[in-house]
Chain A
């Protein structure tokens, strides 16, 4: 009898604290766990009783890497509850802010968290010794995203300008103009990044996922659209609870999202791309084709290429918005609290982020439900580990451990995000 255990106590180069365990016995994978020991923070609980105008700043603190995603989903869910419609100008400005977050978050993941895996480095600092121009360029792309978030939102982490109905302050055309040059540079640099990532060595590994992403009549999805999936799901966001549920799984320390009656599904760049590549800008589409992505990509390791393509798209889209931008006459819509339930789903860099709030007539939260992308992917992370390890059980443990870590990093997990509702099970020594 041969027993082999792949165990990572502390996953590096992911956001938050987690680990993984894969057990192999007699050539078969017998147990797979993605362990999470990030402490719970109880956001849904302490949101109760808070006023609608405090929610956006509070939920931003769920995650320092994607605070804009939380602000966007929360603002729109509360607007949905109140029956508020924002102006097209505000909608475009929100999209611009979100582009900034996509650029900084994707640049961070592609170059600092993910690329070192493919090239055999422990981190980007070590990678910089051999690939200095690549890392320097990555830092500048990331800075462009941060500059955009800081200008529209006030600061890079936990922006302050977003409010229910719009913004506290909107930028002038002149304030945005200097960003155009930076974005043009970043778009070119991102095109080079796509080529760089396309040249990385990819394990031969394809998966038959059910992809879930937003789908919009004409935009590559960010803030709005219907919930769509590769198996034909096509519903309004307010129907989310009828199609998705969270489950306790005996062998796992975490709650897992599933498609009701179906099973695990995948959210994130691969899902967005596979369901929406026809909505990319011409430049982004051309770059994707040049990188050999084709109309669909089923190798999760290649999500690094798709993220790079989405950086190109986000730069391009930000440029489009800045070019046609006129300062909105009104920074904020007329907001009147009303009792009800509001729903919203937006595309965080790592996938759909669902929010639901029930509010009283004064606009105070009665209850909140927040389902971050990482929790939606957790079950698939374990499925991927199982599928990946099974044909590779004879690979030496050290190499296989590294590859398993990489399987997890393909998802760009945001563990702090996921953990406000995860069960806690401390396994760390």
Chain B
């Protein structure tokens, strides 16, 4: 960026629910400050004003699911100095990646009366499968606090401080009773990356993996523990196939238990 001018922010959407970019608007206490520190150059949900690139920072929400979007992400990458993918769709393919385990044509014919009109890819894939990504922020949705941390780190030229330990650590810090014991065996906390503040166990239910697998997640060990508690393979597969179904560790574990 030119000295003295504000960095130019662009926000882009691919296949998604809009929830992660809404998280930015949900930063009610910080929003006007953020708008003061960055020039919002392209953010369709918020503004009619569209400024041409290059952009200093692009936030990308959503997964790639159409041939058109597979092209569009390259144009966005070329126009962006730093590209951060935000949310489970952008970092793992999202809930729509459930199609990756099926024949997408079956899905098309279930939902659409005229399948011939549908132009869609067989798989829903994360942004990094298509272009270089400078940082990935997990979550379905992302955490507002972590999103502000990413912006703040960018503005201050440092690496975002985002933990890669498991939800269990957050649970312990909160003084929660262990979800595996209290709320049934299928808590994904031990293999899920922190970031939500151990939300589900705090709300009396097991973790369902919104933030995707933690670093070096031992899913096989967790699956074995579940099986010892009479969790069926069918349940096990469904549990790993949620909003981060195609994050590698979760995908492999669900496929290993599919038969």
Within the assembled complex, what's the spacing in Å between the Cα atoms of A332 and B66? 41
4 tightest Cβ-Cβ pairs between the two chains A and B:
A64-B19, A123-B47, A45-B107, A122-B49
Question: Is the pair A61, B95 in contact by a Cβ cutoff of 8 Å?
Answer: yes
- Quick one: which of B22-58 are within 8 Å of A by CB? 22-23, 25-26, 28-29, 31-32, 35, 40, 44-50
**Minimum distance in angstroms from A198 CB to a CB of chain B:** 24
Within the assembled complex, what's the spacing in Å between the Cα atoms of A42 and B118? 11
**Minimum distance in angstroms from B235 CB to a CB of chain A:** 8
- Interface flag for B204 (CB, 8 Å): yes
| A100 contact set on B, CB distance < 8 A | none
Within the assembled complex, what's the spacing in Å between the Cα atoms of A353 and B200? 26
Within the assembled complex, what's the spacing in Å between the Cα atoms of A44 and B113? 13
Question: Chain B interface (Cβ within 8 Å of chain A)?
Answer: 13-23, 25-26, 28-29, 31-32, 35, 40, 44-50, 65-66, 68-69, 94-96, 98-99, 102, 104, 106-108, 110-114, 117-120, 140-141, 144, 196, 199-200, 202-205, 208, 210, 235, 238, 242-243
Question: Is the pair A426, B119 in contact by a Cβ cutoff of 8 Å?
Answer: yes
A17-B13, A61-B19 known, 5 other contacts, Cβ within 8 Å: A10-B50, A42-B108, A128-B35, A135-B32, A405-B48
| B144 contact set on A, CB distance < 8 A | 156
- Interface flag for A50 (CB, 8 Å): yes
Question: Is the pair A17, B44 in contact by a Cβ cutoff of 8 Å?
Answer: yes
Given A45-B110, A67-B19, A248-B114, CB of A39 within 8 Å of CB of B243: no
Question: Is the pair B17, A13 in contact by a Cβ cutoff of 8 Å?
Answer: no
| A268 contact set on B, CB distance < 8 A | none
Pick from A24-32, A51-59, A234-242, A387-395 the stretch touching chain B.
A51-59
Within the assembled complex, what's the spacing in Å between the Cα atoms of A108 and B29? 14
| B200 contact set on A, CB distance < 8 A | 154, 160, 168
B13, B48, B94, B199: which contacts A154 (Cβ < 8 A)? B199
Closest to B44 in A: A12
Within the assembled complex, what's the spacing in Å between the Cα atoms of A420 and B65? 13
Interchain residue pairs with CB less than 8 A apart (16): A13-B44, A13-B45, A13-B47, A16-B13, A16-B18, A39-B120, A42-B96, A44-B111, A64-B18, A123-B48, A125-B35, A142-B28, A168-B203, A416-B16, A424-B117, A426-B66
Within the assembled complex, what's the spacing in Å between the Cα atoms of A61 and B18? 9
**Minimum distance in angstroms from A157 CB to a CB of chain B:** 4
Given A128-B32, A158-B141, CB of A40 within 8 Å of CB of B118: yes
- Interface flag for A216 (CB, 8 Å): no
Given A39-B65, A416-B18, A428-B68, CB of A45 within 8 Å of CB of B26: no
Question: Is the pair A169, B203 in contact by a Cβ cutoff of 8 Å?
Answer: yes
Given A46-B98, A50-B238, A146-B26, CB of A157 within 8 Å of CB of B19: yes
| B204 contact set on A, CB distance < 8 A | 168-169, 331
The interface centre, meaning the residue of A15, A45, A140, A416 with most chain B CB atoms within 10 A of its CB, is A45
| A125 contact set on B, CB distance < 8 A | 32, 35, 40, 46-47
B44, B46, B118: which contacts A112 (Cβ < 8 A)? B46
Closest to B40 in A: A125
Question: Is the pair A45, B40 in contact by a Cβ cutoff of 8 Å?
Answer: no
Question: Is the pair A416, B199 in contact by a Cβ cutoff of 8 Å?
Answer: no
Question: Is the pair B205, A45 in contact by a Cβ cutoff of 8 Å?
Answer: no
Question: Is the pair B203, A154 in contact by a Cβ cutoff of 8 Å?
Answer: yes
| B141 contact set on A, CB distance < 8 A | 64, 155, 157-158
Question: Is the pair B44, A10 in contact by a Cβ cutoff of 8 Å?
Answer: yes
Given A135-B32, A158-B141, A160-B205, CB of A124 within 8 Å of CB of B46: yes
Given A45-B107, A123-B49, CB of A39 within 8 Å of CB of B66: yes
**Minimum distance in angstroms from B118 CB to a CB of chain A:** 5
A37, A61, A122, A423: which contacts B112 (Cβ < 8 A)? A423
| B22 contact set on A, CB distance < 8 A | 64-65, 157
| B205 contact set on A, CB distance < 8 A | 160, 163, 168
Within the assembled complex, what's the spacing in Å between the Cα atoms of A128 and B22? 19
Question: Is the pair A123, B46 in contact by a Cβ cutoff of 8 Å?
Answer: yes
B17, B40, B98: which contacts A62 (Cβ < 8 A)? B17
Within the assembled complex, what's the spacing in Å between the Cα atoms of A49 and B119? 25
A42, A51, A143, A420: which contacts B29 (Cβ < 8 A)? A143
Within the assembled complex, what's the spacing in Å between the Cα atoms of A126 and B68? 32
**Minimum distance in angstroms from B78 CB to a CB of chain A:** 17
- Interface flag for A136 (CB, 8 Å): yes
- 0 or 1 for each of A392-429: is its CB under 8 Å from B? (1 = yes): 00000000000001000000000010001101111010
- 0 or 1 for each of A115-153: is its CB under 8 Å from B? (1 = yes): 010000011111010000001100110110010000000
